[in-house]
A and B are shown apart, each in its own frame.
Chain A
Amino acid sequence: MATNDKLLQVLNLSKHYNKGAIKALDDVSVDIHAGEVVVVIGPSGSGKSTLLRSLNLMETPTDGSIFFHDIDITKKSFTDEAGKKHKVNINLHRQKMGMVFQHFNLFPHKTILENMILAPVKVLKMPKEQAKEKAMVLLTRVGLADRADAYPIQLSGGQKQRIAIVRALMMEPEVMLFDEPTSALDPEMVGEVLEVMKELAHAGMTMVVVTHEMGFAREVGDRVLFMDEGKILEQGTPEEIFGSPTHPRLQDFLSKVL
């Protein structure tokens, strides 16, 4: 069983497509500790997104377990210390796991402010005024308070991604999942998004980040996972991974991206 500082514990996780012909994840085990920034790197198709998206069950794994707060969220029910059986409500767990997507996925029919307050008001039943105040504080933090009443279509890619991040933060998640948050951005906008992520990391947020930004991995990551063909082939501190990679596949990968 997971101990307390392990926020997320992935055990023997597999995800197969086409009846096992494609192993997007192949028996992966990894722990995510509270306050840790874990960066996932690897070639295209290696299973990075699948691993990340399994953590909040955007993908349903074929096999294995994911413990979040000691509850296996891949199962239908769990038993508490008192021996009582409870149903696993994935919506409840997702509230505590923010997710940021490559293509932002802001709601185009809602203003920035509406995008941010929707889930807190509908899911957490937060009073609207309180949600708005909270949203304005966050918007100010990312320098977009003046765009509160704009629609997503009126924003640049970098602005959209910053909004997507604070939209997720509105739920006060315990962990933030990022799937290539800067890959769809024009190069000049990558910096502003990474800056927000850095601040978040320094504020102590637990983060799992799939990215091709090796600079970010090196500077902000506490641990780097290298994935290939559905497996974590190597993991370690940025110094270890970038300074003295041992696996030939990792050496090969790094020689291409660095």
Chain B
Amino acid sequence: MNNFITANGFEKTFRYIKLIEQGIFTTVMLAVFTVVIGFILGILLAVMRMTDIRPLRFLAYGRNGRIRNNPVLIAISKFNPVSFLATAYVEILRSTPVLVQILIIYHGVFGKLIELPSFTLFGYLKSNRFIPGVVALGMNSGAYLCEIIRSGIQSIDGGQNEAARSLGMTKTQTLVHIILPQAIKNILPAIANEFVVIIKESSITYTIGVQDLMFAVTAVQGANYIVMEPLLVATAVYFCLCFPTSKIIAYFERRMSRGDKR
């Protein structure tokens, strides 16, 4: 190991081009599936956090139907179990490392509780590695997307809700036809950003054997006793995936905000 980085090292690395290509494809697939799962989960969590379900509401009212003066009972009456569950989920997933979450999902949930059928996707991807990886990343991403979606919903002017409700639309109809379409348009850049974040974060799934780009890197490293060359190739690939995507997002962001000001 005289020379730190050698042309020979790169040549050796590129002999594994097929493996690297598969790794790139896996990484992109991981990100796509994760954002889709995370987005659906995020909407669900955001709606849960914003519900107004208070089963103990009656505690706030006295026999005569008037609001009580007891601050403790008033506080308890505001308890919303649905929102509490969603909030707990979001806070726990945002306050623990994604690596720990992935290992728990892989070894705990899919290792012990749920048996996954073992098959190959796209001719090379092991399902019993890929699926836990996607589920774990999606669950994590859902927590972040929930907060993004929530802020998107809250940024919609209250007059929109009032206008829809005054026309006789239900809460759900208003959410589906009026609030969500506008909120999602507003947060599209943030969602696309999350996509870029996940492309990078998904590299962590190689720890459970998902055959992504980092998996290819470690395979090449181990077979050839070279360290830096495969890492540099991976660096270049990640950069080429993320940098243009960020630039494209920024471009659309500028264009969309221009449209709004007109």
Contacts and interface: CB of A to CB of B under 8 A. Distances in A.
Contacts of A126: none
Contacts of A105: 157, 159-160, 162-163
Contacts, number: 63
22 contacts: A91-B170, A98-B166, A99-B162, A101-B159, A101-B163, A105-B157, A105-B162, A106-B163, A107-B160, A107-B163, A109-B181, A109-B182, A118-B169, A118-B177, A122-B169, A122-B173, A123-B167, A123-B169, A153-B262, A167-B167, A168-B167, A171-B168
Nearest to B171: A91
A92 B168 CA distance: 6
Given A92-B168, A123-B168, 8 more contacts: A58-B165, A91-B170, A99-B162, A99-B163, A107-B182, A119-B164, A119-B167, A122-B177
Interface string A86-127: 000001101101110101011111000000001100110000
B107 interface: no
A114 to B, nearest CB: 10
Contacts of A56: 166
A249 B177 CA distance: 45
Which of under 10, 10 to 19, 20 to 34, or 35 or more describes the interface residues of A?
20 to 34
B40 interface: no
B256 to A, nearest CB: 12
Contacts of B165: 58, 91, 94
A107 B160 CA distance: 7
Contact of A95 (B167, B181, B260): B167
Contacts of B181: 109
Contact of A97 (B159, B166, B182): B166
B178 interface: yes
Nearest to A93: B168
Contacts of A168: 166-167
A94 B167 contact: yes
Nearest to B178: A107
A119 B166 CA distance: 10
Contacts of A101: 159, 162-163
Give the 10 A-B CB pairs with smallest separation, nearest first. Answer: A95-B168, A105-B163, A119-B167, A99-B166, A105-B159, A94-B168, A123-B168, A91-B168, A109-B181, A109-B182
A49 B185 CA distance: 31
Interface in B180-195: 181-182, 185
